[in-house]
Amino acid sequence: DSLGQLHMLRGEFTEAQALLERAVSLATEHGNKWYARQALCTLGRCHLGMNAVAEAVKCGNEALALAESIGDRQAQCESCLLLAESYLRTDQVDTCIELLKRVSEEATESAADVGIIGEAERLNGLVALNQDDATLAAQHFGRSLSLFEMLGDRYRSAIASEVLGAAYGRTSPKRP
């Protein structure tokens, strides 16, 4: 799973996919539902990176089912976030919003959930952009950026900074 994630960060999605599929297979063979769910979520994000959204939805649904079967609230939130982003990419905005509502109801103010809340804020910002509300999007992206900076997560901070800049660009008046 970790090696697959490293390949994803390098943009080597084909290599990442092969490693992640193997991780899912091994975890499933050994009955490790928690690890299988983790690898499925990472594989789903890999599919999103490759624009294979239908495959990402499939991974997200499998991951959510596993998370629910083991009763892991945090894993359920992470799986819902994967599904929310997948549905947003297919313009199923209402489904995305419902999943984000579920995450906001289940996530807590604990330190363990800060990353989940930050990711939910980023996705809420993307929903707002999808609905042509750049001001609201900028607010969500700003909160996401603050949370990821607090965690010291440079990668997700950079992503939040990029989308925040895009939202600000839409709110600024056009210059001649």
Q: 162: how many CB neighbours lie within 10 A of its CB?
A: 12
Structure tokens at 11: 């943009």
Residue with tokens 């289940």: 106
- CB contact at 8 A, 121 and 82: no
In this structure, what is the dihedral angle of CA atoms 99, 104, 107, 110, given to the nearest 10 degrees? Answer: 150
C-alpha span between 164 and 112 (Å, rounded): 24
C-alpha span between 74 and 106 (Å, rounded): 8
Q: 27: how many CB neighbours lie within 10 A of its CB?
A: 20
Helix (H, G, I), strand (E, B) or coil at 39: helix
Q: What is the pLDDT of residue 176?
A: 66
Q: 10-residue block means of pLDDT along the chain (176 residues)?
A: 90 96 97 96 97 98 97 96 98 98 92 94 97 96 96 94 93 73
